[in-house]
A and B are shown apart, each in its own frame.
Chain A
Amino acid sequence: MLNSKRLVLAHFWLGFVSFGGALLLGAWQMWVRSPLHPWLQNPELYYRSVTAHGSAMAYVFPTLIAMGFGYAVTELALKKPLIGVRWAWAGFILVALGTVTAMVPVAMGLASVLYTFYPPMIGNAFYYIGIVLVVVGSWIWVALMSINLAAWKREHRGVPVPLAMFASVAGAYLWGWTAVGAAIEILFQILPVALGFKTTIDAGLARVFFSWSLHAIVYFWLMPAYIAYYTILPRAIGGRLYSDSMARISFILFLVVSMPIGIHHLFADPQVGSGFKFMHSVFTALVAVPTLLTVFTICASVEIAARLRGGRGSFGWIKALPWDNPLMLALAFSFVMLGFGGAGGIINMSYQLDSTIHNTQWITGHFHLIFGGAIVIMYFAIAYDLWPHLTGRAMTQFKLMRQQLWLWFIGMIVLTFPWHFAGILGMPRRMAFFDYTDPEIAEQAVSVIISTIGGAILVVSAVMFFVVLIRAHRAPRVVLEEYRFSTAVHESKTIPVALNSFGLWLALMIGLTLFNYGYPVASLLLRSDTSVPAIPIGGPQR
């Protein structure tokens, strides 16, 4: 049962629209700093665009997808109407309002500070206020997910929580806690300066707080994709989930260990001690465990589906998979990109290896491959799977969907592989223009041109995605059978309370965060000599 169709559709549509706009900006950025375009006369335009692209892609788009998907999962998995629909709409309106509030100053060039804020640069206060509104709107979602789960548990004592709901709530809790770091940074450090109450800011401490949010936010983006791996894919390809417990353990591990690891973004920062950098490196490595568990479980589930369809042999079963199913295609592409992106990520998280690629284009290539590739392609898959149930209309353009997914995969590989390579050649990130005529960097020109082509392919793919969605709204109405999530091979009637509740895991998450961040934050807070003058951005130009 899906009662709040308009609510979910509103979240998805606003998310995808902001994604479409930001994607165009991204392609433009790739083009203007490639050798195909003469130097931008005004580099500020570039940073303005990067700020809008990053803010929309990192804060608005995935948050709305996670919220919309979370509401859908709540109704579909718990089989009861969402509690607090009005609050949900209020959260949506806050996110929409925050997006506009943030984007207006960015568009006016008053807040070209990039989405990672980078104090001591200080932009227009409304940019930060807008981001806060987006986060507050999403916190309403976190609360609603928690309330709906609690209400269901009260009515179903001793019954295992449906996996999709369990995972969605894990994602919500992860976001609720990870957003606290950036919220502290904005509310207590940046806004007092942006509003004119202070003229100095502790940029080092601000970076520590932001790192608190910056890495775990990636796992928040990842959550809908992982939920789809476990609870949609096996059903969509006619198989069963290999292990329900393994899925729960993966989500729990994400919840616990994806938080206290953000300082691996600060390996080159002098204000954090090397011991903490090493500890964060260790815990980052640990995140590979739930990822590998997931890859194993999903591959096993896929094999089950293939063998049910008559697949034979050690690898021969792969041929028996339903490759004409867009979701199967999306999963395969997502795993390939996750594999390459994850391998690159192991370099980023290693305390020593990171120094070879720190602050180079490798990093931008890496997070585009993981987020834009492995994760966003699963957002497409989620939309394709849910759309008929949201619109009540048939979705039959499988060929167009397959082409769209192929193009997204190819575009992302063409975009990010040369991007990584440019980083290995030493090309720095966050630069508005490069003089490719200079022999020292001339060899980077080819990589950047190839990446630009990849960006263009992605734009074409996104246009096709919107065509599919819009046509689906105009398709003939159909009566669908009830939506269901995948079922496990062995469905147990009872599970350990540890795999059915969050208390212990939230305690570990918060405890580890305090252990890994407590001293770096406290030591910077207590020192009096760590603030620097704020640099206003977008003030009078002359």
Chain B
Amino acid sequence: MSDERLFSLRNRWFTVTVGGTLALAAFSAAVGFIWLPSAQHDQPFQGIWNAICSAAGVPQQWLRASSATPVPLVQTSAVAMTPQLLADSGSTSIGRGATLSLRCTMCHGVRGISDANSPNLAGQYASVIYKQLADFQSGARRNAVMSPMVTNLSDQDMRDLSAYYAYLPKPEALRASASSSMPVPDIVSHGAPMRNIASCASCHGGIDHKAGSPWLEGMPAAYTRGQLQAFANGTRHNDISEQMRNVARNMTPDEIDAAATYYAGAQP
């Protein structure tokens, strides 16, 4: 036995197993790459080479004749939102943002806490503020006051403003009252799965945080309610892939009230 050479064409174990493996591989490849795809009669599958390419997963452009990119009916956000967007900003950026922010104080408060039912900005995620500013500028989001305010901002201006507001401390007192004393409404903690509504807390903090979702504690109830209604009726449409529109459309007015009131941390 010890003289027996395994890797030799005279050894039947070698020829049968290697030959069998090759035959099986060739057979399954022929079926998978030529025969099965040829059963399709669409243009990209015509001919053996096309069949092989399509079965191998080579990217093909389908319907080449009408490949013009469709134009969206409403303007959507052009910001590519990633978890890493504006993740670290320098002190220069924060300083420049502080100077630029003087024009925002009338509505958003001296330290980013609003007394005017405008959203609080102190401690908000930089990427969130940046995306909203960029969307106001591109027209993806419209507001009679904000749209003119951002027209002349450069991209760097918007990054600096975002860095500054993210740097400001969050409103501590509001945060405490919102999370401790009030019962958490179902829509915030569980959502409504059968209506395809994820819980607010799964993106806006509490359970998890997703890139592009603001934290909401202490946000004026009138603002949150107004935005949910705007998402629901489509007048606000800068949410990525209609995430918030799909949620808000399926929310009942009571759920909208419950969420807005809960996050404001105020009594109804």
Contact = CB atoms under 8 A, between A and B. Distances in A.
A42 interface: yes
A283 interface: yes
Interface stretch (B102-110, B205-213, B234-242): B205-213
A512 B21 contact: yes
Contact of B11 (A158, A495, A498): A498
Interface stretch (A81-89, A271-279, A291-299, A414-422): A271-279
A517 to B, nearest CB: 13
Interface string A489-531: 0000011111111011000100110011001100100000000
A497 B6 contact: yes
Given A199-B83, A497-B11, 16 more contacts: A41-B189, A273-B58, A274-B32, A274-B55, A275-B29, A433-B193, A435-B194, A494-B1, A498-B6, A500-B1, A503-B7, A504-B7, A523-B58, A533-B82, A534-B84, A542-B217
Interface string A307-318: 000000000000
A43 B207 contact: yes
Contacts of B5: 497
Range, interface on chain A? 35 or more
Question: Which 3 residue pairs spanning A and B have beta carbons closest together?
Answer: A273-B57, A275-B55, A542-B205
B28 interface: yes
Nearest to A199: B84
B56 interface: yes
A77 B45 CA distance: 56
Interface in B116-151: none
B222 to A, nearest CB: 22
B1 A523 contact: no
A539 interface: yes
Interface of A: 39, 41-44, 157-158, 199, 256, 271-279, 282-283, 286, 433-435, 438, 440, 494-501, 503-504, 508, 511-512, 515-516, 519-520, 523, 533-536, 539-542
B202 interface: yes
A508 B32 contact: no
Interface in B15-60: 17-18, 21, 24-25, 28-29, 31-33, 36-37, 52, 54-58
A501 B2 CA distance: 11
B25 A512 contact: yes
A515 B25 contact: yes
Nearest to A252: B17
29 contacts: A39-B190, A43-B207, A158-B1, A199-B83, A256-B21, A273-B54, A274-B54, A275-B33, A275-B36, A275-B37, A275-B52, A276-B32, A276-B55, A276-B56, A286-B24, A435-B194, A440-B194, A497-B11, A498-B13, A498-B17, A499-B13, A503-B6, A508-B17, A533-B82, A534-B84, A535-B83, A536-B83, A541-B209, A542-B206
Contact of B36 (A42, A272, A274): A274
B21 A278 contact: no
B154 to A, nearest CB: 24
Interface string B156-195: 0000000000000000000000000000000001100110
Contact of B209 (A42, A277, A278, A542): A542
B4 interface: yes
Max chain A C-beta neighbours (<10 A), residue from B28, B33, B215: B28
B208 A157 contact: no
Interface of B: 1-2, 4-7, 11, 13-14, 17-18, 21, 24-25, 28-29, 31-33, 36-37, 52, 54-58, 82-84, 189-190, 193-194, 202, 205-211, 215, 217
A69 B116 CA distance: 71
Contact of B56 (A39, A273, A500, A534): A273
B57 A271 contact: yes
B14 to A, nearest CB: 6
B4 A497 contact: yes
B61 to A, nearest CB: 14
A497 B1 contact: yes
Contacts of A497: 1-2, 4-6, 11, 13
Contacts of A511: 21
B235 to A, nearest CB: 28
A279 B56 CA distance: 11
A534 B25 CA distance: 36
B37 A274 contact: yes
